[in-house]
Chain A
Protein backbone atom coordinates (compact mmCIF):
# COMPACT_ATOMS: atom_id res chain seq x y z
CA UNK A 1 0.00 0.00 0.00
CA UNK A 2 1.45 3.40 -0.91
CA UNK A 3 2.28 5.78 1.94
CA UNK A 4 0.28 9.00 2.32
CA UNK A 5 2.67 11.16 0.33
CA UNK A 6 2.76 8.67 -2.51
CA UNK A 7 -1.02 8.48 -2.53
CA UNK A 8 -1.13 12.24 -3.03
CA UNK A 9 1.74 12.76 -5.46
CA UNK A 10 2.36 9.42 -7.15
CA UNK A 11 5.59 7.43 -7.18
CA UNK A 12 7.74 9.88 -9.18
CA UNK A 13 9.86 10.93 -6.18
CA UNK A 14 10.57 7.32 -5.28
CA UNK A 15 11.38 6.44 -8.89
CA UNK A 16 13.87 9.30 -9.18
CA UNK A 17 15.47 8.49 -5.83
CA UNK A 18 15.87 4.85 -6.79
CA UNK A 19 17.33 5.65 -10.21
CA UNK A 20 19.73 8.34 -9.01
CA UNK A 21 20.61 6.72 -5.68
CA UNK A 22 20.35 10.10 -3.94
CA UNK A 23 17.85 11.51 -1.37
CA UNK A 24 15.92 14.05 -3.48
CA UNK A 25 13.25 14.18 -0.74
CA UNK A 26 15.79 15.82 1.59
CA UNK A 27 15.85 19.05 -0.46
CA UNK A 28 14.65 21.98 1.70
CA UNK A 29 14.82 24.60 -1.06
CA UNK A 30 17.93 26.54 -0.05
CA UNK A 31 18.55 27.18 -3.78
CA UNK A 32 22.31 26.83 -3.41
CA UNK A 33 22.35 24.55 -6.47
CA UNK A 34 20.54 27.15 -8.59
CA UNK A 35 22.68 30.08 -7.44
CA UNK A 36 25.88 28.28 -8.40
CA UNK A 37 24.57 26.83 -11.66
CA UNK A 38 26.43 28.30 -14.66
CA UNK A 39 23.59 27.42 -17.03
CA UNK A 40 20.74 28.77 -14.84
CA UNK A 41 20.14 31.86 -17.07
CA UNK A 42 19.38 29.55 -20.01
CA UNK A 43 17.17 27.08 -18.17
CA UNK A 44 13.38 27.00 -18.12
CA UNK A 45 13.48 25.48 -14.62
CA UNK A 46 16.15 26.06 -11.98
CA UNK A 47 17.67 22.95 -10.46
CA UNK A 48 16.06 23.68 -7.09
CA UNK A 49 12.70 23.99 -8.85
CA UNK A 50 13.30 20.63 -10.50
CA UNK A 51 13.88 19.12 -7.02
CA UNK A 52 10.64 20.65 -5.69
CA UNK A 53 8.59 19.55 -8.68
CA UNK A 54 9.85 16.01 -8.18
CA UNK A 55 8.54 16.19 -4.59
CA UNK A 56 5.18 17.27 -5.95
CA UNK A 57 5.06 14.48 -8.52
CA UNK A 58 5.02 16.84 -11.52
CA UNK A 59 6.51 14.19 -13.75
CA UNK A 60 5.43 15.62 -17.11
CA UNK A 61 6.72 19.15 -16.54
CA UNK A 62 10.05 17.87 -15.23
CA UNK A 63 10.70 15.25 -17.91
CA UNK A 64 9.67 17.61 -20.72
CA UNK A 65 11.80 20.51 -19.45
CA UNK A 66 14.73 21.96 -21.36
CA UNK A 67 16.66 22.30 -18.10
CA UNK A 68 17.43 18.59 -17.76
CA UNK A 69 19.16 18.67 -21.18
CA UNK A 70 21.03 21.92 -20.62
CA UNK A 71 22.77 20.72 -17.46
CA UNK A 72 26.51 20.63 -18.29
CA UNK A 73 27.31 18.08 -15.54
CA UNK A 74 29.75 20.54 -13.96
CA UNK A 75 28.96 19.09 -10.51
CA UNK A 76 28.88 22.48 -8.73
CA UNK A 77 25.38 21.68 -7.39
CA UNK A 78 26.43 18.21 -6.21
CA UNK A 79 29.52 19.65 -4.52
CA UNK A 80 27.61 22.37 -2.66
CA UNK A 81 24.31 20.74 -1.66
CA UNK A 82 24.06 20.92 2.16
CA UNK A 83 21.91 17.77 2.14
CA UNK A 84 24.39 15.77 0.04
CA UNK A 85 21.91 15.39 -2.78
CA UNK A 86 23.76 14.44 -5.97
CA UNK A 87 21.83 16.95 -8.06
CA UNK A 88 23.86 16.26 -11.22
CA UNK A 89 23.06 12.54 -10.90
CA UNK A 90 19.36 13.44 -10.63
CA UNK A 91 19.65 15.35 -13.92
CA UNK A 92 21.27 12.25 -15.51
CA UNK A 93 18.47 10.02 -14.27
CA UNK A 94 15.78 12.43 -15.47
CA UNK A 95 17.27 12.44 -18.98
CA UNK A 96 17.24 8.65 -19.07
CA UNK A 97 13.68 8.53 -17.76
CA UNK A 98 12.54 11.12 -20.32
CA UNK A 99 13.92 8.99 -23.16
CA UNK A 100 12.55 5.72 -21.74
CA UNK A 101 9.08 7.17 -21.12
CA UNK A 102 9.07 8.61 -24.64
CA UNK A 103 8.01 12.11 -23.61
CA UNK A 104 8.53 15.05 -25.95
CA UNK A 105 12.10 16.13 -25.16
CA UNK A 106 12.61 19.74 -24.09
CA UNK A 107 15.85 19.92 -26.09
CA UNK A 108 16.17 16.97 -28.47
CA UNK A 109 19.72 17.97 -29.46
CA UNK A 110 21.15 16.60 -26.22
CA UNK A 111 19.75 13.17 -26.92
CA UNK A 112 20.80 13.36 -30.57
CA UNK A 113 24.36 14.21 -29.56
CA UNK A 114 24.47 11.37 -27.00
CA UNK A 115 23.27 8.87 -29.56
CA UNK A 116 25.73 10.05 -32.22
CA UNK A 117 28.66 9.98 -29.78
CA UNK A 118 27.90 6.54 -28.36
CA UNK A 119 27.23 5.05 -31.79
CA UNK A 120 30.73 6.14 -32.79
CA UNK A 121 32.23 4.56 -29.64
CA UNK A 122 30.26 1.36 -30.24
CA UNK A 123 31.57 1.13 -33.80
CA UNK A 124 35.24 2.05 -33.30
CA UNK A 125 35.85 1.59 -29.57
CA UNK A 126 36.79 5.30 -29.54
CA UNK A 127 35.11 8.48 -30.71
CA UNK A 128 35.67 9.24 -34.37
CA UNK A 129 34.97 12.99 -34.22
CA UNK A 130 34.24 13.59 -37.89
CA UNK A 131 31.87 10.63 -38.18
CA UNK A 132 30.19 11.58 -34.91
CA UNK A 133 29.69 15.19 -36.04
CA UNK A 134 28.23 14.15 -39.40
CA UNK A 135 25.81 11.76 -37.65
CA UNK A 136 24.82 14.49 -35.19
CA UNK A 137 24.32 17.10 -37.92
CA UNK A 138 22.04 14.74 -39.85
CA UNK A 139 19.99 13.94 -36.74
CA UNK A 140 19.68 17.52 -35.51
CA UNK A 141 19.46 19.19 -38.96
CA UNK A 142 21.76 21.82 -37.45
CA UNK A 143 24.12 21.93 -40.43
CA UNK A 144 25.66 25.38 -40.09
CA UNK A 145 26.86 25.73 -36.50
CA UNK A 146 30.67 25.46 -36.56
CA UNK A 147 30.75 24.45 -40.24
CA UNK A 148 33.33 27.19 -40.84
CA UNK A 149 35.60 25.72 -38.15
CA UNK A 150 36.15 22.39 -39.85
CA UNK A 151 38.77 23.73 -42.31
CA UNK A 152 40.80 25.23 -39.49
CA UNK A 153 40.48 22.05 -37.46
CA UNK A 154 41.72 19.90 -40.33
CA UNK A 155 44.69 22.19 -40.94
CA UNK A 156 45.58 22.12 -37.23
CA UNK A 157 45.43 18.33 -37.17
CA UNK A 158 42.42 18.36 -34.81
CA UNK A 159 40.13 16.37 -37.09
CA UNK A 160 41.13 13.33 -39.09
CA UNK A 161 39.41 11.75 -42.05
CA UNK A 162 39.73 8.21 -40.74
CA UNK A 163 38.81 6.71 -37.36
CA UNK A 164 41.55 5.62 -34.96
CA UNK A 165 40.06 2.28 -34.07
CA UNK A 166 40.79 0.51 -30.80
CA UNK A 167 42.03 -3.08 -31.08
CA UNK A 168 39.24 -3.92 -28.62
CA UNK A 169 36.43 -2.40 -30.72
CA UNK A 170 34.65 -5.75 -31.11
CA UNK A 171 34.65 -6.20 -27.32
CA UNK A 172 33.14 -2.74 -26.95
CA UNK A 173 30.32 -3.61 -29.34
CA UNK A 174 29.54 -6.67 -27.19
CA UNK A 175 29.74 -4.56 -24.03
CA UNK A 176 27.20 -2.11 -25.51
CA UNK A 177 24.75 -4.94 -26.26
CA UNK A 178 25.04 -6.29 -22.73
CA UNK A 179 24.79 -2.83 -21.14
CA UNK A 180 21.59 -2.13 -23.07
CA UNK A 181 20.11 -5.42 -21.82
CA UNK A 182 21.06 -4.49 -18.24
CA UNK A 183 19.45 -1.05 -18.58
CA UNK A 184 16.14 -2.59 -19.66
CA UNK A 185 16.02 -4.53 -16.38
CA UNK A 186 16.28 -1.39 -14.21
Chain B
Protein backbone atom coordinates (compact mmCIF):
# COMPACT_ATOMS: atom_id res chain seq x y z
CA UNK B 1 0.00 0.00 0.00
CA UNK B 2 1.33 3.44 -0.84
CA UNK B 3 2.23 5.43 2.22
CA UNK B 4 0.70 8.87 2.14
CA UNK B 5 1.85 11.44 4.65
CA UNK B 6 -0.44 14.34 3.68
CA UNK B 7 -4.19 14.27 4.15
CA UNK B 8 -7.11 16.64 3.74
CA UNK B 9 -8.39 16.75 7.32
CA UNK B 10 -12.14 16.75 7.95
CA UNK B 11 -12.60 17.58 11.66
CA UNK B 12 -16.43 17.61 11.80
CA UNK B 13 -18.65 19.55 14.20
CA UNK B 14 -18.04 17.47 17.34
CA UNK B 15 -14.31 18.10 17.14
CA UNK B 16 -15.01 21.82 17.52
CA UNK B 17 -17.20 21.34 20.60
CA UNK B 18 -17.86 18.26 22.74
CA UNK B 19 -14.90 16.41 21.22
CA UNK B 20 -12.29 19.21 21.12
CA UNK B 21 -9.85 16.90 22.91
CA UNK B 22 -10.10 14.41 20.04
CA UNK B 23 -9.22 17.27 17.68
CA UNK B 24 -6.27 18.43 19.77
CA UNK B 25 -4.87 14.94 20.40
CA UNK B 26 -5.30 13.89 16.76
CA UNK B 27 -3.35 16.90 15.55
CA UNK B 28 -0.69 16.38 18.23
CA UNK B 29 -0.02 12.71 17.46
CA UNK B 30 -0.09 13.30 13.70
CA UNK B 31 2.60 15.98 14.15
CA UNK B 32 4.64 13.60 16.28
CA UNK B 33 4.27 10.75 13.77
CA UNK B 34 4.99 12.82 10.67
CA UNK B 35 1.48 12.83 9.23
CA UNK B 36 0.59 16.22 7.75
CA UNK B 37 -3.02 17.35 8.06
CA UNK B 38 -4.31 20.10 5.77
CA UNK B 39 -7.71 21.34 6.98
CA UNK B 40 -10.41 21.27 4.30
CA UNK B 41 -11.20 24.98 3.93
CA UNK B 42 -14.75 25.97 4.96
CA UNK B 43 -15.79 22.37 5.55
CA UNK B 44 -19.45 21.90 6.48
CA UNK B 45 -21.38 19.42 8.64
CA UNK B 46 -21.68 15.87 7.20
CA UNK B 47 -25.38 15.83 8.18
CA UNK B 48 -24.82 12.94 10.59
CA UNK B 49 -27.84 10.85 11.70
CA UNK B 50 -30.44 13.67 11.47
CA UNK B 51 -29.79 13.97 7.71
CA UNK B 52 -29.94 10.27 6.84
CA UNK B 53 -33.08 9.78 8.90
CA UNK B 54 -34.98 12.74 7.48
CA UNK B 55 -33.71 13.77 4.04
CA UNK B 56 -31.92 11.23 1.85
CA UNK B 57 -30.79 13.82 -0.71
CA UNK B 58 -29.22 15.97 1.98
CA UNK B 59 -27.44 12.99 3.54
CA UNK B 60 -25.52 12.52 0.29
CA UNK B 61 -25.19 16.17 -0.77
CA UNK B 62 -23.61 17.47 2.46
CA UNK B 63 -20.74 14.93 2.44
CA UNK B 64 -20.31 15.41 -1.31
CA UNK B 65 -19.91 19.16 -0.78
CA UNK B 66 -16.95 18.38 1.50
CA UNK B 67 -15.51 15.77 -0.83
CA UNK B 68 -15.59 18.32 -3.66
CA UNK B 69 -13.58 20.71 -1.49
CA UNK B 70 -11.09 17.93 -0.71
CA UNK B 71 -10.82 17.13 -4.43
CA UNK B 72 -9.55 20.66 -4.99
CA UNK B 73 -6.76 19.97 -2.50
CA UNK B 74 -5.87 16.80 -4.43
CA UNK B 75 -5.47 14.81 -1.21
CA UNK B 76 -7.20 11.80 0.35
CA UNK B 77 -9.50 12.71 3.24
CA UNK B 78 -8.68 11.77 6.82
CA UNK B 79 -11.21 12.01 9.61
CA UNK B 80 -11.05 11.08 13.29
CA UNK B 81 -14.83 10.96 13.91
CA UNK B 82 -16.54 7.60 13.35
CA UNK B 83 -19.82 9.17 12.27
CA UNK B 84 -18.29 11.64 9.79
CA UNK B 85 -16.21 8.75 8.45
CA UNK B 86 -19.29 6.59 7.87
CA UNK B 87 -21.28 9.45 6.28
CA UNK B 88 -18.48 10.45 3.87
CA UNK B 89 -17.87 6.83 2.86
CA UNK B 90 -21.60 6.16 2.46
CA UNK B 91 -21.96 9.19 0.18
CA UNK B 92 -19.08 7.94 -1.99
CA UNK B 93 -20.68 4.50 -2.18
CA UNK B 94 -24.10 5.96 -3.07
CA UNK B 95 -22.87 8.15 -5.94
CA UNK B 96 -20.77 5.27 -7.29
CA UNK B 97 -23.60 2.73 -7.11
CA UNK B 98 -26.76 4.64 -7.84
CA UNK B 99 -26.89 6.85 -10.96
CA UNK B 100 -30.20 8.37 -9.88
CA UNK B 101 -28.84 9.45 -6.50
CA UNK B 102 -25.69 10.74 -8.15
CA UNK B 103 -27.73 12.88 -10.53
CA UNK B 104 -29.68 14.20 -7.55
CA UNK B 105 -26.49 15.08 -5.64
CA UNK B 106 -25.09 16.80 -8.72
CA UNK B 107 -28.22 18.89 -9.17
CA UNK B 108 -28.10 19.92 -5.53
CA UNK B 109 -24.37 20.69 -5.29
CA UNK B 110 -24.16 22.03 -8.86
CA UNK B 111 -20.99 20.04 -9.60
CA UNK B 112 -20.23 16.63 -11.11
CA UNK B 113 -18.92 14.04 -8.64
CA UNK B 114 -18.42 10.32 -9.19
CA UNK B 115 -17.10 9.30 -5.79
CA UNK B 116 -13.37 9.40 -6.53
CA UNK B 117 -12.06 11.04 -3.35
CA UNK B 118 -10.62 8.47 -0.94
CA UNK B 119 -11.84 8.70 2.66
CA UNK B 120 -9.81 7.18 5.50
CA UNK B 121 -10.23 6.95 9.24
CA UNK B 122 -7.27 7.88 11.39
CA UNK B 123 -7.07 4.33 12.84
CA UNK B 124 -6.90 2.85 9.35
CA UNK B 125 -4.05 5.19 8.40
CA UNK B 126 -2.13 4.54 11.62
CA UNK B 127 -2.35 0.76 11.40
CA UNK B 128 -2.40 0.08 7.67
CA UNK B 129 -0.27 2.92 6.21
CA UNK B 130 2.09 4.13 8.89
CA UNK B 131 2.18 0.72 10.58
CA UNK B 132 2.23 -0.42 14.17
CA UNK B 133 6.04 -0.80 14.11
CA UNK B 134 6.51 2.86 13.19
CA UNK B 135 4.32 3.82 16.14
CA UNK B 136 6.23 1.48 18.47
CA UNK B 137 9.53 3.01 17.36
CA UNK B 138 8.41 6.44 18.57
CA UNK B 139 7.22 5.36 22.02
CA UNK B 140 9.03 7.31 24.74
CA UNK B 141 6.92 6.39 27.72
CA UNK B 142 5.40 2.90 27.43
CA UNK B 143 2.08 2.54 29.26
CA UNK B 144 3.25 -0.67 30.91
CA UNK B 145 0.67 -2.46 33.01
CA UNK B 146 -2.32 -0.35 31.90
CA UNK B 147 -5.28 -2.56 30.98
CA UNK B 148 -7.39 -1.15 28.18
CA UNK B 149 -10.79 -2.21 26.82
CA UNK B 150 -10.78 -1.18 23.16
CA UNK B 151 -14.24 0.04 22.23
CA UNK B 152 -15.03 0.57 18.55
CA UNK B 153 -18.76 1.24 18.78
CA UNK B 154 -20.82 0.95 15.63
CA UNK B 155 -19.69 2.97 12.71
CA UNK B 156 -15.96 2.22 12.57
CA UNK B 157 -16.68 -1.32 11.43
CA UNK B 158 -20.30 -1.27 10.20
CA UNK B 159 -21.65 -1.78 7.69
CA UNK B 160 -18.60 -3.66 6.34
CA UNK B 161 -19.61 -3.01 2.73
CA UNK B 162 -18.95 0.68 3.39
CA UNK B 163 -16.14 0.87 5.96
CA UNK B 164 -14.17 -2.39 5.70
CA UNK B 165 -10.74 -1.59 7.17
CA UNK B 166 -11.15 -4.09 9.99
CA UNK B 167 -13.36 -7.06 10.84
CA UNK B 168 -16.97 -6.05 11.51
CA UNK B 169 -17.51 -8.34 14.52
CA UNK B 170 -14.00 -8.83 15.92
CA UNK B 171 -11.86 -5.82 14.99
CA UNK B 172 -8.27 -5.70 16.20
CA UNK B 173 -6.57 -2.52 14.96
CA UNK B 174 -7.02 -0.63 18.23
CA UNK B 175 -5.70 -3.61 20.21
CA UNK B 176 -2.62 -3.65 17.97
CA UNK B 177 -1.95 0.02 18.71
CA UNK B 178 -2.57 -0.42 22.43
CA UNK B 179 -0.08 -3.32 22.46
CA UNK B 180 2.46 -1.25 20.52
CA UNK B 181 2.45 1.44 23.23
CA UNK B 182 3.12 -1.11 25.96
CA UNK B 183 -0.38 -1.33 27.42
CA UNK B 184 -2.43 -4.49 27.62
CA UNK B 185 -5.71 -4.83 25.69
CA UNK B 186 -8.28 -6.89 27.61
CA UNK B 187 -10.45 -9.47 25.87
CA UNK B 188 -14.08 -8.46 26.17
CA UNK B 189 -17.24 -9.19 24.21
CA UNK B 190 -18.61 -5.66 23.66
CA UNK B 191 -16.01 -4.17 21.29
CA UNK B 192 -18.65 -3.27 18.72
CA UNK B 193 -21.84 -3.00 20.79
CA UNK B 194 -23.76 0.27 20.45
CA UNK B 195 -23.69 3.03 23.12
CA UNK B 196 -27.03 4.47 21.96
CA UNK B 197 -25.44 7.36 20.05
CA UNK B 198 -27.65 10.43 19.70
CA UNK B 199 -30.48 8.82 21.68
CA UNK B 200 -28.54 10.52 24.50
CA UNK B 201 -30.49 13.66 23.64
CA UNK B 202 -33.96 12.24 23.06
CA UNK B 203 -33.95 9.11 25.26
CA UNK B 204 -31.11 9.42 27.78
CA UNK B 205 -32.48 6.48 29.81
CA UNK B 206 -31.62 4.10 26.94
CA UNK B 207 -28.07 5.42 26.75
CA UNK B 208 -27.72 5.04 30.51
CA UNK B 209 -28.67 1.38 30.23
CA UNK B 210 -26.28 0.70 27.34
CA UNK B 211 -23.38 2.69 28.84
CA UNK B 212 -23.78 0.91 32.15
CA UNK B 213 -23.65 -2.43 30.40
CA UNK B 214 -20.51 -1.49 28.48
CA UNK B 215 -18.66 0.00 31.45
CA UNK B 216 -19.53 -2.89 33.77
CA UNK B 217 -18.38 -5.44 31.22
CA UNK B 218 -15.12 -3.57 30.63
CA UNK B 219 -14.50 -3.62 34.40
CA UNK B 220 -15.45 -7.28 34.65
CA UNK B 221 -12.87 -8.02 31.95
CA UNK B 222 -10.26 -6.30 34.11
CA UNK B 223 -9.89 -3.01 32.24
CA UNK B 224 -8.59 0.15 33.97
CA UNK B 225 -9.95 2.34 31.19
CA UNK B 226 -11.67 2.33 27.80
CA UNK B 227 -10.17 3.47 24.54
CA UNK B 228 -12.56 5.02 21.99
CA UNK B 229 -12.38 6.62 18.55
CA UNK B 230 -15.73 8.41 18.33
CA UNK B 231 -16.83 11.65 20.05
CA UNK B 232 -20.33 10.34 20.74
CA UNK B 233 -19.05 7.11 22.33
CA UNK B 234 -16.73 9.19 24.51
CA UNK B 235 -19.46 11.52 25.65
CA UNK B 236 -21.96 8.72 26.35
CA UNK B 237 -19.46 6.70 28.40
CA UNK B 238 -17.64 9.55 30.14
CA UNK B 239 -19.95 12.54 30.58
CA UNK B 240 -22.91 10.23 31.28
CA UNK B 241 -21.07 7.71 33.43
CA UNK B 242 -22.44 9.15 36.69
CA UNK B 243 -26.01 9.02 35.30
CA UNK B 244 -25.51 5.40 34.26
CA UNK B 245 -24.25 4.49 37.72
CA UNK B 246 -27.12 6.34 39.37
CA UNK B 247 -29.71 4.57 37.22
CA UNK B 248 -28.29 1.04 37.20
CA UNK B 249 -25.91 0.61 40.13
CA UNK B 250 -22.39 1.71 41.07
CA UNK B 251 -19.43 1.27 38.75
CA UNK B 252 -15.89 2.26 39.80
CA UNK B 253 -14.83 5.53 38.10
CA UNK B 254 -13.61 4.40 34.69
CA UNK B 255 -11.70 6.85 32.50
CA UNK B 256 -12.69 6.83 28.83
CA UNK B 257 -9.87 8.12 26.66
CA UNK B 258 -9.57 8.62 22.95
CA UNK B 259 -7.04 6.23 21.40
CA UNK B 260 -5.23 9.39 20.27
CA UNK B 261 -4.82 10.46 23.90
CA UNK B 262 -3.37 7.08 24.90
CA UNK B 263 -1.00 7.13 21.92
CA UNK B 264 -0.01 10.71 22.72
CA UNK B 265 0.84 9.82 26.32
CA UNK B 266 3.09 7.03 25.10
CA UNK B 267 4.71 9.34 22.56
CA UNK B 268 5.68 11.61 25.45
CA UNK B 269 3.18 14.42 24.80
CA UNK B 270 1.86 16.47 27.72
CA UNK B 271 -1.62 16.22 29.22
CA UNK B 272 -2.35 19.73 27.92
CA UNK B 273 -1.30 18.83 24.36
CA UNK B 274 -3.77 15.93 24.51
CA UNK B 275 -6.66 17.80 26.13
CA UNK B 276 -6.84 15.36 29.05
CA UNK B 277 -8.58 17.95 31.23
CA UNK B 278 -11.66 17.65 28.99
CA UNK B 279 -12.45 14.25 30.51
CA UNK B 280 -15.25 14.18 33.07
CA UNK B 281 -13.87 11.07 34.79
CA UNK B 282 -10.26 12.11 35.30
CA UNK B 283 -7.51 9.83 34.04
CA UNK B 284 -5.03 11.25 36.60
CA UNK B 285 -5.43 8.57 39.34
CA UNK B 286 -5.00 5.79 36.78
CA UNK B 287 -1.99 7.47 35.18
CA UNK B 288 -0.40 8.08 38.57
CA UNK B 289 -0.92 4.43 39.49
CA UNK B 290 0.72 3.31 36.23
CA UNK B 291 3.61 5.73 36.78
CA UNK B 292 2.89 7.74 33.59
Query: Which A residues form the contact surface with B (CB < 8 A)?
Result: 21, 38-39, 41-42, 69-70, 72-76, 78-79, 86, 88, 91-93, 95-96, 99, 107, 109-115, 117-118, 121, 125-127, 129, 133, 136, 140, 145-146, 149, 152-153, 156-160, 164, 166-169, 171-172, 175-176, 178-180, 182-183, 186
Instruction: Indicate whether B56 reaches chain A with its CB closer than 8 angstroms.
Output: yes
Bound Cα distance from A182 to B110, whole angstroms: 13
Question: Which of B55, B198, B209, B210 touches A113 (beta carbons < 8 Å)?
Answer: B198
Contact check, B199 vs A70: say whether CB atoms are below 8 A apart: yes
Contact check, A109 vs B194: say whether CB atoms are below 8 A apart: no
Chain B residues near A129: list those with CB within 8 A.
13, 17-18
Bound Cα distance from A126 to B44, whole angstroms: 5
Main secondary structure on chain A at its contact with chain B? helix
Chain B residues near A160: list those with CB within 8 A.
17
Bound Cα distance from A157 to B24, whole angstroms: 12
Chain A residues near B210: list those with CB within 8 A.
38
Contact check, B154 vs A152: say whether CB atoms are below 8 A apart: no
Contact check, B41 vs A167: say whether CB atoms are below 8 A apart: yes
Nearest chain B CB to A63 CB, angstrom units: 14
Q: Which residue of A lies closest to B12 (CB)?
A: A126
Question: Which of A21, A38, A42, A182 touches B193 (beta carbons < 8 Å)?
Answer: A38
With A42-B206, A125-B45, A164-B16 as contacts: A182 and B52 at CB distance below 8 Å = no
Contact check, A121 vs B44: say whether CB atoms are below 8 A apart: yes
Contact check, A182 vs B107: say whether CB atoms are below 8 A apart: yes
Nearest chain A CB to B99 CB, angstrom units: 12
Contact check, B197 vs A126: say whether CB atoms are below 8 A apart: no
With A72-B196, A95-B53, A158-B20 as contacts: A39 and B158 at CB distance below 8 Å = no
> Please, what's the 1-or-0 string for B82-115, where 1 marks a CB less than 8 Å from any CB in chain A?
0000000000000000100000100111000000
With A126-B45, A127-B13 as contacts: A73 and B56 at CB distance below 8 Å = no
Bound Cα distance from A93 to B52, whole angstroms: 9
With A78-B158, A107-B202, A172-B65 as contacts: A156 and B278 at CB distance below 8 Å = yes
Contact check, B57 vs A182: say whether CB atoms are below 8 A apart: yes
Contact check, A175 vs B98: say whether CB atoms are below 8 A apart: no
Contact check, A121 vs B45: say whether CB atoms are below 8 A apart: yes
Q: Which residue of A lies closest to B58 (CB)?
A: A179
> Please, what's the 1-or-0 string for B184-202, where 1 marks a CB less than 8 Å from any CB in chain A?
0000000011101111011
With A74-B197, A76-B194 as contacts: A109 and B202 at CB distance below 8 Å = yes
Contact check, B44 vs A75: say whether CB atoms are below 8 A apart: no
Contact check, A168 vs B204: say whether CB atoms are below 8 A apart: no
B:228-260 near A, CB below 8 Å: 239
Contact check, B54 vs A168: say whether CB atoms are below 8 A apart: no
Contact check, B53 vs A114: say whether CB atoms are below 8 A apart: yes
